[in-house]
Chain A
Amino acid sequence: MRPFEYVSPNTRSQAISLLGASRGNAEILAGGTDLLTLMKDDVVAPKRLINIKGINDLHGVSSNAQGFHIGALTTLGDLADDATVRQNYPALAEALAEAASPQIRNLATLGGNLCQRPRCWYFRNGFGLLPKNETGKELVAEGENRYHAILGNEGPAKFVSPSTLVPILVAYGAKIRLEGPKGKRELPLEKFFVIPKNEGEREHDLRPNEIVTEVVIPPASDVRAAHYEIRQKEIFDWPLAVAGVALKMRGSNVQSARIVMGYVAPVPWPSPEAEQALVGQPINKDTAQRAAEAALTNAKPLSHNAYKVQLARVALRRAILKAASGGVS
């Protein structure tokens, strides 16, 4: 392993000042379930590793009128067991229970889950996030793209956003809070993810000297939500499609809807088309199907992943129906 410096700050400001202003020199270590693998595989080689687990106020959860606050260092395991999550955000609880394996959930943090790097096998084999060969040919477009993006893939980024939790968090209207040398900022969670256009750019709107501090989910007592994943193996497998749906009903019709797809694009993919298709409608097989079709109208599959259009559609339709029936599929 390449030598690196290891530091363990106890406060946010220490962590921020240790990060430095340029990308790639320092990496933040939280659960380490992704970063350490990337380092062992020599995909990333930070000169400084900043262990933030000693920063006490990044741990734990709390509730107030704004909603439910989740510290960035809260583990997925603790979050899955949290009574508030189970009671008020059952679709998130389900997504948490399906994430990775129990061993990983016990270490992995929510902040790390949002900042994990794509699972693209070209990236993981060291060919870069926007992999090209010597002649400039895009390796993904020309190669084995069965698990790659079907939306938002017009540029060189063809990977899919890897978090299985983000679609339902975005559907619930979650916000992410960041802190840097110039203070704090808050973004709707979906805005945290960006599509890189040049090699070396990151897929997150996280400046080199910023850290993720917390995620806030607004109250959802009037929301019917559902998370749905399609994967080949029963457990511990990367999904082929993910859907997160949150509906507000007026009577038996949809008043408003948040519909988000995962594993279809380099970023989580909210679908205003599907949302519009549902508003004012009752939920049934036909309306769910129409919304799902609307969401995938603009899909542009690559050479080997046309099947993912169907899978994304099915995941959405099932998630919509599941949300309407109170989260039961």
Chain B
Amino acid sequence: MSVPEIILEVKNLKTSFATDSGEVRAVDGVSFKLPKGQTIGIVGESGSGKSITSLSILRLLASNGKIKEGEVLYKGQDLLKFSEDQMRKLRGNEISMIFQEPMTSLNPVYTVGQQIGEALMLHQNMSKKEAHIRSVELLKLVGIPSPDKRVKNYPFELSGGMRQRVMIAMSLACDPEILIADEPTTALDVTIQAQILELIKELQDRLGMSVVFITHDLGVVAETCDYVAVMYAGQVVEYADIRSLFHYPKLPYTIGLLKSLPRHDIEQDKLEPIKGNVPSPHDMPVGCRFSPRCPAATDLCRAKMPQLETDEKGNQVRCWIYSEEWDGESEVNIYGETRIAKSRGTETVLPD
């Protein structure tokens, strides 16, 4: 089996925001790898730091945000060491991004064509005329009807779904290597959501780009991603290929998330919510950040923060259960499922 080229690797990323009530660590140790041509989903509840992670990759943080530590390796080069000029040449060209809010993400005073054409003129030295022609092609590519007319429209003349298509066209304008999609369907109607997801997948197949997909929706992840990084309170807590994650999630939090998700492929008695709330960034637990809510938490969990442990498949988990130091039962019951602690040796595959 050939090792796929890793196009993007984030290592131990830490991002903070200066606020009135002190420094807030929004992202506190995020690591993941994205193989070329594949899709990674970054999943988490709101406030888990997933959007900040995506903005940190392109260094588009608000003025009070700062990347404190870590590396963002794109084709082996650390983007955090790039000059602002180098970054600018990369943005919208090699790595582009679409956002959650199509209604407000387009500039109201320029036409759709002007906004798509801007990236082309900027990165590919196209003339105004060439950019216009290419904009029409791009609108056609993303499935907008009568693109030669739409190209002259202002954003307010388009629906939300259409605007998101325009955003996609804009992000694809320069044939990027990586597309970062930050909750691209959250603000849209369900039927439109499916269309947009389908469109992104189809374009990915056709253009061969890699995708970072930010979402809070595990259902969307199941449909679109090859790898998943689960985030909780600013950290990546589990990183796995899609099969492993859905069939044998290791982390209690991930198990809890999946249990609280309505599924139609297996029988469920009832949905089981995770109790408690996400900790406030001002008041982070000392140990594992999920420990106050975790049904399996021990004194160790509450006292000491676990590190990301990598298994033989390359999947990672941040949990004491899978470490040598585990001090609890050897068979741990989590939301009705059983996991075998690493320190007690044997690994058992459970019936799903």
Same complex: no
> Which residues of A pack against B, CB within 8 Å?
none
Could you tell me which B residues sit within 8 Å of A by CB distance? none
